[in-house]
Structure 1
Amino acid sequence: MESLLTAQLKLIPEMSDLLQKRYRILQTIQLSKGIGRRVLGEQLGLSERDTRKELDALRNQGLIDVSRDGAAITPEGTQMIIELKEVVREWSGRLQLEQTLSQHLHIKEVIIVPGDVDTNTNAAMLLSQEAAKYLESILSDEKIIAVTGGSTIASISNFVQATTKWKQLLFIAARGGVGKDVALQANTIASLFSNKMNGSYRTLYMPDSLSEEAYNTMMKEPFIQEMMDLYERTNIIIHGIGDAVEMARRRYTDENEIDRLKEAGSVSEAFGYYFNEQGEAVHRIRTIGIQLKQLTHIEHLLAVAGGAKKAKALLSYFKQAPEQTVLVTDEGAANEMIKIISETN
């Protein structure tokens, strides 16, 4: 079907815009599980008339059902999304953008979803869904998976398939807590993944930042040594990448320290390290968790972050990221990164 459709699009290129629009509508309906016409139009930037027209067309093709509860995708619609995915990816320009960015960032792969999480909640769901699919594609029995905290990583657990197919998966917190929202801390997220995927989990109930004395004392504790051993044997890490100042404020860092981070040129943060535009670590939180030097031997590194506002942070972090990293991001961040790269070259 893909080769036939590609030929049709080459013959009638104006079909491409309509194809992409209807595909986005199907994706949005699939994610929303019952969405009203007005909300759908607002999310996709369509007029009420255009939304009604496209919903009628998709319903007539048996791809969606429309009721008082809103629009819902049918099994045929779900299958259509699967079959058209690669064609839409190519014709939207995302495939070329992915290849360009992966080469520039010197990493294994870049996966780009439509939209911008800064302005579109649907893009945030697509980001998490794509990350969940990639995670499932690399899993096998007896793996150790470390997860960091944050709303993006927590959302991924909502999209992994509930299954008992894997044996002896162990999800572990990659670090102590950040911020006061327990639901978004690594410990909680590890348990969410574990519950969905028939695994077990290990927690690390430690403050994210420790004094030197407390750090040295805790590192001697047996349960900390066990966690450090698990980090050495970890197969997969799922992590976010943050804006330096935003992450500092989430840690309730005092303003004097934030000023010092700014003076040092901090742009991005990951794993408790702050990086400047050149990718150099200019500051490090004294924390118990996965350390930067351990990333080099991890089999799979899955970085998930989106939004145009994070473009500078992403470019900063990937100046030194291990080459086995896979980045799942969105068009907002990808296009802004390309813009920045073009301006600096």
Structure 2
Amino acid sequence: MELLKAQLKLMPEWNAMLQQRYQILQTIALSKGIGRRSVAELLDLSEREIRKEFDQLRTQGNIIVSRDGTEITELGTYLLTELKPLVDEWSGRHEKEQVLRNLLSLQEVHIVPGNSDESVQTQTLLASEAARFIFSKLESRMITAVTGGSTIAKIAEQLPSSSKFQQLQFVAARGGIGKDVQLQANTIASMFAQKLNGSYKTLYIPDTLSESAYEAMKAEPFVQEMMDLYEQMSILVHGIGDATEMARRRNSTAEDLKFLKERQAVSEAFGYYFNAKGEVVHRIRTIGVQLEQLEQTPYIVAVAGGAQKAQALQSYFQQAPRQSVLITDEGAADQLIHH
């Protein structure tokens, strides 16, 4: 690796070639059976360029091209892993990770290339990086809680199928929200469990409850069991939402939206709404992970990307536990660093 760094310093034009070839290989790895045209469109390159790069990667034994599309080989996967630190360093992402870690006072920050607001490819990269990090921290008999949302669902899809861990348990970090069952925490917890040969616990109650229903539910044995599991969780995987967007997903009334606007709510997580200073300005009555339970959780993995999420991220991390790990993209990172 040191020799490669020296070569790149001597011939910096290799850097652009390395970055592009790495990106092509990464795209193939994330999209099994993808064709040349699709890769060209995703990376905004000409088909002629892609054809040339495909020929080179195939000759090197990094990819296999067939009528069913293109797939990465074991050698290609190995190269992606080995070259990642160098590619991140030469692209400037490694330096951005350090700046953001200090800026937000976090344990770790991981940044993937691109902007999730503009690219499905970046959304997949975000989920893949989160899946890689979570898998690296798993141990047998560990309890992992997951929230809902499209980003967290993508993480489950990117996890490798594995049975190397014993007695893993995945729990829904909250009740249902919205009408899309596939994106609810219950469904996603089951997806994690299926991929990793674990068990799961669901929380089939509405995300928002009336005061009387909330008090009654808290006394239910199954709710008490879930609360005990939250106390024991080692990993919590969650997204961070824009306050207004999340309120609308909950079908909040015009009066509720006005209430949040008056209190200058910026971000939302776990049913809590935060202002720009990270102060809780509203909390919905919900059964699920509570803010005070985060302090004792070893790994809190926050996954959110896109330039439009920057303000929400800035808001939430004003008060987030210091052991939090942020996995984001360059779109959000650049906004956070330069604004």
Please report the TM-score for the alignment, with normalisation by the length of structure 2.
0.97
Residue of structure 2 equivalent to 1:177: 176
CA distance in 2 between partners of 1:22 and 1:260 (Å): 50
Q: Deviations for 1:60-119, whole angstroms, at most 9, x for unmatched residues?
A: 322222333333222222221122111101111010000100111001000011111111
CA distance in 1 between partners of 2:143 and 2:256 (Å): 35
CA distance in 1 between partners of 2:43 and 2:186 (Å): 35
Q: Deviations for 1:214-254, whole angstroms, at most 9, x for unmatched residues?
A: 11111111111111111111111000001111111111111
Residue of structure 2 equivalent to 1:214: 213
Cα distance, 1:315 vs. partner? 0.6
Q: Does residue 106 of structure 2 align to residue 110 of structure 1? A: no
Residue of structure 2 equivalent to 1:81: 80
Q: Does residue 315 of structure 2 align to residue 323 of structure 1? A: no
- List alignment gaps of at least 5 residues for structure 2: none
Cα distance, 1:134 vs. partner? 0.7
- The one-letter code matched in structure 2 to 1:28 is T
Count of aligned residue pairs for this structure pair: 339
Q: Deviations for 1:146-201, whole angstroms, at most 9, x for unmatched residues?
A: 11001111111112221111111111111111111111111111111111112111
Task: Specify the SS of the correspondent of 1:141.
Answer: coil
CA distance in 2 between partners of 1:41 and 1:26 (Å): 12
CA distance in 2 between partners of 1:31 and 1:42 (Å): 15
CA distance in 2 between partners of 1:78 and 1:194 (Å): 25
Q: CA RMSD in A?
A: 1.1
Alignment of 1:149-298 (within 5 A): 149-298=148-297
Cα distance, 1:53 vs. partner? 2.2
Cα distance, 1:262 vs. partner? 1.5
- The one-letter code matched in structure 2 to 1:144 is I
Task: Specify the SS of the correspondent of 2:157.
Answer: coil
CA distance in 2 between partners of 1:132 and 1:48 (Å): 31
Q: Does residue 337 of structure 2 align to residue 338 of structure 1? A: yes
Residue of structure 2 equivalent to 1:130: 129
Cα distance, 1:30 vs. partner? 0.9
- The one-letter code matched in structure 2 to 1:79 is Y
Q: Deviations for 1:109-149, whole angstroms, at most 9, x for unmatched residues?
A: 00011111111111111111111111111111111111100
Task: Specify the SS of the correspondent of 2:161.
Answer: coil
Residue of structure 2 equivalent to 1:46: 45
CA distance in 1 between partners of 2:67 and 2:134 (Å): 36
- The one-letter code matched in structure 2 to 1:29 is I
CA distance in 1 between partners of 2:227 and 2:144 (Å): 14
Task: Specify the SS of the correspondent of 2:158.
Answer: coil
* 328-337 or 53-62: bigger deviation: 53-62
Residue of structure 1 equivalent to 2:100: 101
Task: Specify the SS of the correspondent of 1:157.
Answer: helix
- The one-letter code matched in structure 1 to 2:112 is V
Q: Deviations for 1:9-31, whole angstroms, at most 9, x for unmatched residues?
A: 11111111110011000000111
Task: Specify the SS of the correspondent of 2:336.
Answer: helix
Q: Does residue 58 of structure 2 align to residue 59 of structure 1? A: yes
Residue of structure 2 equivalent to 1:304: 303
Task: Specify the SS of the correspondent of 1:303.
Answer: strand
- The one-letter code matched in structure 2 to 1:98 is E
Residue of structure 1 equivalent to 2:14: 15
CA distance in 1 between partners of 2:135 and 2:67 (Å): 35
Task: Specify the SS of the correspondent of 1:245.
Answer: helix
Task: Specify the SS of the correspondent of 1:158.
Answer: helix
Task: Specify the SS of the correspondent of 2:301.
Answer: strand
Residue of structure 2 equivalent to 1:343: none
Please report the TM-score for the alignment, with normalisation by the length of structure 1.
0.96
Give identity over the alignment, percent. Answer: 60
Structure 1 runs of 4+ with >4 Å offset: none
CA distance in 2 between partners of 1:69 and 1:199 (Å): 32
- The one-letter code matched in structure 2 to 1:273 is Y
CA distance in 1 between partners of 2:4 and 2:17 (Å): 13
Q: Deviations for 1:264-314, whole angstroms, at most 9, x for unmatched residues?
A: 111110000011111111111110111111111111101111111101101
- List alignment gaps of at least 5 residues for structure 1: 341-345
CA distance in 1 between partners of 2:194 and 2:157 (Å): 11
